Structures are given as structure tokens and as C-alpha cells.
Amino acid sequence: MTPVLSLHTISKSFQPGVPILEDVSLQVETGKMVCVLGPSGCGKTTLLRLIAGFEEPTEGEIYLIKRLVSHPGLVVPPEKRHIGMVFQDCALFPHMTVAQNIQFGLFRWPLDWRHARLVEMLQLVALEDMASRYPHELSGGQQQRVALARALAPSPQLLLLDEPFSSLDINLRQQLREEVQDILRRAKITTLLVTHDQEEALSLADALAVIEQGHVVQYDTPEAVIRQPRTRFVAQFLALGQFLRGEICSQGIATELGMLPLLPDMPLVRHSRYIDLLIRPECLHLCSKGTPAQVVHTRFHGTRKLYTVRFPSGTLLQGHFASETPLRLGEQVRLRLQPVDLVAFPCEPQPVNCGMRNTECGMENQEV
């Protein structure tokens, strides 16, 4: 099946030698929602503007269903791309009613078709009773649904969402996310969502493109990104856990919390001696004979408490601990490590405080 959107080695620079985006390639399949996720300033909105036709790429090509719409020297205008777009601030026309806003892009349609499409869109976004209201008479969530209906009304091949929930409070944001997800699935529309909100991306996306400083560093399903982040940045940005220093030796991986098995297919560490292990909160468990640590911070994480503990080396890790009584700040505990989806990243050489000599670890003659 031909993808709705194809980006081939897209780069964009506003100043010579200062790329905002570099060598970006990805495809968006029909009916899927792809979330472009990354911190502020990484190039997300620039990517969206290139796809919409507001900017010209410095390098590369953009295709919409096999149709070339952008490359250096050629930019098909936005109005000829059959793309819908919902902006962060809704961008509704304040002097127009809900009905007039939704019908704005339908002026070339016959009158009876415009009316039928308006009725369909109002039903889709559950605003049938508000067609005659003006934007200032609507709540933030209702305004966002009107903007969505206006973008969907001309039956676009692709819908672009530019952080559409960022201006809403947290409760309304979650509610509207679920409503928009349901609307888009019923409309069977291919969607590209730009966001810096990890929870938003993970809850909505069929596929996730994580951007770091203008580069797509991972493009995969949300489950794959969570289970096997390909870079340290992805793991840190998604707040998947903290890092524990390890040293690869003949017996496995020596760490401050004991010896761990070295799996033959463990990615990224085949030629490294010193590594950083991603330790997720569910990996740490209380026990009577484990490594000593001190509780230094607590906070609720959903309905459970998330504890931050400090080990003798100064390493800080976080964990959800099953305990009959809440742990107190300053309390001494003992912990063992039970890895889940173990991921490791190469790091600079640094001794590991594991209580084992190199001869015990089998590393005395091994080269880095």
C-alpha cells in the first residue's frame, strides 16, 4: 500500500551551515496516527511547516501519495496539497459562527453538499447545538473540536496537528485527547501530530518519531520505543528510568547492585567494556540482604509512590516498592535488582563500585 506521506532525506536550514532539520526520512501509512515527539527547539514545527507547504526544504523530497510536492526549488502551495491543519491556538475566525468556520474551506462545493458536510462534521465532533455560536462563546475544548471539524471538512488526505492540546488544563487535555482519538478513528483520517508531551504521544500514536536536534533518532511503535530505546536521549526524554554504571566481565555485568547476566543479543554494548544500564522503577525491589541505600525523595506517581534512593557511590535510582508502610525520608533500605527489558548504552571508562577486584571479574588482561 502506498504511504500517504513520504519524506526522503529532508533537511532545512534558515542560515547556511546551521541545519534545523537534517536527513529526515519517514513514511506515514494510510489511516495511521504518527506522533513527532521532541523537546522545544528540536525542529518539530519546522517539519510540520515543510509538510504543509509553508517552507521550502534545503534538501530532500516530500511526496503525498506518490505526488512530489516539495524539493529545493519546488513547493506546491498549501491550498493545493489536500492537507488539513489544526494549530496550537485553534486559529478560528472570531467574526464567524461555528457553522461558518467549519464551512470556510468548502466555498467551491455546491450549496447542498456544503450543508450536508456541515451537518456531518457537527455530528462527528458532537456540536450539533452550537452551529450558530461564535468562538468566544465556546470553551477551549469546544473551540478545538471546531478547529478539528474545519480541518476535516474538505476531506483532506492528511491531517496535521501542531500541539493542539498544549494550551488546555491537564484534565481537559486528557478528555479532549480521547475525544479527538475517537473522532479521527471514526473519520479514518491519516494524521501527523507534533508534540513535546510524552504521555500524549504514547497514548495516541500508532508510530512514534523521536527527534533530537533535527535528527529522527528513533521511529517505531510506542511499545518498541519504550521497551528498546535506541539512544540515551530517547530513554531520558521519555523518562523511562535512571542509569546504573556497569562493567562487562567474564561472569556478566558487574554493578553496584550485583552481577547481572550479559545477554548475547543485548544491543549497543557488543564492543564496550563500561556501560550504563537503564534501570526502570519496576526493576528495584526491597529485600533483607541487598545493596544498602537511603531514601532521599518521595512523590506520588499516579496512585503509587515513587521513591528516589541514593547508593553508597552516590548513584540515584527510582523505584516503586511494595511495602506495607510508606518509607520515610532518610530511611535505610536494602535493594536488589531484577531487570526488566534490560537496555545498555556505552559510556566513558570509569571504575564500577561493585566490591569485586578485576581478577575476580575476569578482566585483568582484557582490553577495552
Q: 295 is written with which cell numbers?
A: 531514601
pLDDT at 357: 39
Q: Where are the domains of the chain?
A: 5-228, 241-361
Q: What are the mean pLDDT values of the chain's consecutive 10-residue runs (368 residues total)?
A: 92 91 95 93 93 95 95 93 87 93 90 93 92 93 90 93 81 82 88 90 93 96 93 93 89 88 66 86 90 93 86 92 84 89 80 48 35
The phi, psi pair for 211, rounded to 5°, reads -110, 135
Q: 171 is written with which cell numbers?
A: 484534565
Q: What number does CATH give the domain 241-361?
A: 2.40.50.140
pLDDT at 264: 65
Distances (CA, A) of 16 to 70, 87, 204: 20, 29, 36
Q: 98 is written with which cell numbers?
A: 461555528
Query: Bridge partners of 85?
Result: 160
C-alpha 51/C-alpha 38 separation (Å) is: 17
pLDDT at 368: 27
C-alpha 299/C-alpha 302 separation (Å) is: 9
Q: How far is CA 227 from the centre of its chain?
A: 14
CATH 3.40.50.300 fits 5-228, yes or no: yes
pLDDT at 141: 86
pLDDT at 80: 92
Please give the helix or strand (H or E) that residue 172 lies within, else none.
helix 170-187
Instruction: Specify whether the CB–CB gap between 243 and 253 falls below 8 A.
Output: no
pLDDT at 273: 83
